[in-house]
Amino acid sequence: MGRQVILKSRVPKGYRHPELDNSLRVTRTKNEARLIQEARRLGVPTPIIYDIDIIEATLVMQEVNGPRVKDLLDQSGPEQRAMVCEEVGRSVGLLHKGSIAHGDLTTSNMIWSEGRVWFIDFSLGSKKADLEELGVDIHLLHEAFQSAHSHIPDSYDQIINAYRDSFPKAADVLRKVKEIEDRGRYT
Ligand SMILES: Nc1ncnc2c1ncn2[C@@H]1O[C@H](COP(=O)(O)OP(=O)(O)OP(=O)(O)O)[C@@H](O)[C@H]1O
Ligand SMILES: [Mg+2]
């Protein structure tokens, strides 16, 4: 139909037991399709899913054209960076308010396109996330800003400010993040 699409295919992993491998590929494919659609209903930009093949564990989705937020943050000036971070924080807040944990919340899984941040790669996400899962999401993001983005320390704070604004229970999650990080430090 003349649309630009991405085919995401989960290839069998030879080192896993075949039955387990098959079941993981199928559940992750289904989970990803479901959460991508659910996230869009919450107001978070995600690709449109055009097709899902459970047997082959493949998804056909809209191609989102643009740089990954991971690369964009390094290349842009303070103003654009602030705009991107605000958008990231607001959208993560909307997801969490809707009880969705992304599961792999890094800036590699965000694409900047049409002046918005698009979220992809929800295969490890959860639709009825508990506080711990929400905390792990933010913890992953925090880690990314301490390693890949350590030269722009303000950006994480900008994201968290927008997160607080869009999600009333943000303070509970941030307390949990602290607990997760303390746990990591002392064990
Ligand atoms: N809809 C899309 N539009 C444009 N690029 C995409 C899209 N989906 C994926 N990509 C590109 O492909 C890369 C890998 O995709 P994705 O993050 O979904 O898979 P992955 O990290 O290999 O997956 P998983 O962690 O589920 O095994 C992304 O970082 C992005 O560059
Ligand atoms: Mg990814």
Q: Is the CB of 46 under 6 A from ligand 1?
A: no
User: Which residues, at least 6 apart from 148, have a Cβ–Cβ distance to it below 8 Å?
Assistant: 70, 107
Q: Would you say the CB of residue 113 lies under 6 angstroms from ligand 1?
A: no
CA angle 171, 175, 176 (to 5 degrees): 120
CATH number attached to the domain at 5-62 = 3.30.200.20
- Looking up tokens 């396109």 gives 113
Residue 136 reports pLDDT greater than 70: yes
Q: Give percent helix, percent strand, percent coil of the chain, each to the nearest 5.
A: 55, 15, 35
The C-alpha angle 68, 128, 10, rounded to 5 degrees, equals 50
pLDDT value for 2: 92
CB within 8 Å of 114: residues ≥ 6 apart: 66
What pLDDT, on the 0 to 100 scale, is given for residue 187?
67
pLDDT, position 1:
86
Instruction: Determine the residue of 3, 8, 27, 122 to mutate for testing ligand 1's pocket, defined as the one with the most ligand atoms within 8 A of the Cβ atom.
Output: 8
CATH topology of domain 69-186: Transferase(Phosphotransferase); domain 1 (1.10.510)
Would residue 104 show up in a list of annotated catalytic residues for this protein? yes
pLDDT at residue 186 greater than cutoff 90: no
Structure tokens at 172: 């509970």
pLDDT tens for 20-79 read 999 999 999 999 999 999 999 999 999 999 999 999 999 999 999 999 999 999 999 999
Name the pLDDT band for 185 (thresholds 50, 70, 90): confident
pLDDT for the residue 166: 98
Residue 63 φ/ψ region, left for φ over 0, alpha for ψ in the -120 to 50 degree band, beta for the rest: beta
pTM: 0.95
Q: What is the pLDDT of residue 184?
A: 85
pLDDT at 97 over 70: yes
Structure tokens at 179: 């607990």
The burial of 39, by beta-carbon neighbours within 10 Å (0-12 exposed, 13-18 middle, 19 or more buried), is given as buried
- If you average pLDDT over residues 169-186, what whole number do you get? 94
User: Which residues surround the ion ligand 2 when the cut-off is CB under 5 Å?
Assistant: 109, 121
Alpha-carbon distance of 66 to 54, in angstroms, equals 28
Q: Is the pLDDT of residue 125 over 80?
A: yes
Q: How many CA atoms lie within 13 A of 111 on its CB side?
A: 15
Q: Is the CB of 5 under 6 A from ligand 1?
A: no
Instruction: Report the C-alpha gap between 35 and 128 in whole angstroms.
Output: 11
For the CA of 28, the closest atom of ligand 1 is: 26
Q: Is the CB of 47 under 6 A from ligand 1?
A: yes
pLDDT exceeding 70 applies to what percent of the chain? Answer: 99
Task: Inform me whether the pLDDT recorded for 3 exceeds 80.
Answer: yes
Give span(s): CATH 3.30.200.20, the chain. 5-62
Instruction: Return residue ranges of the chain for CATH 1.10.510.10.
Output: 69-186
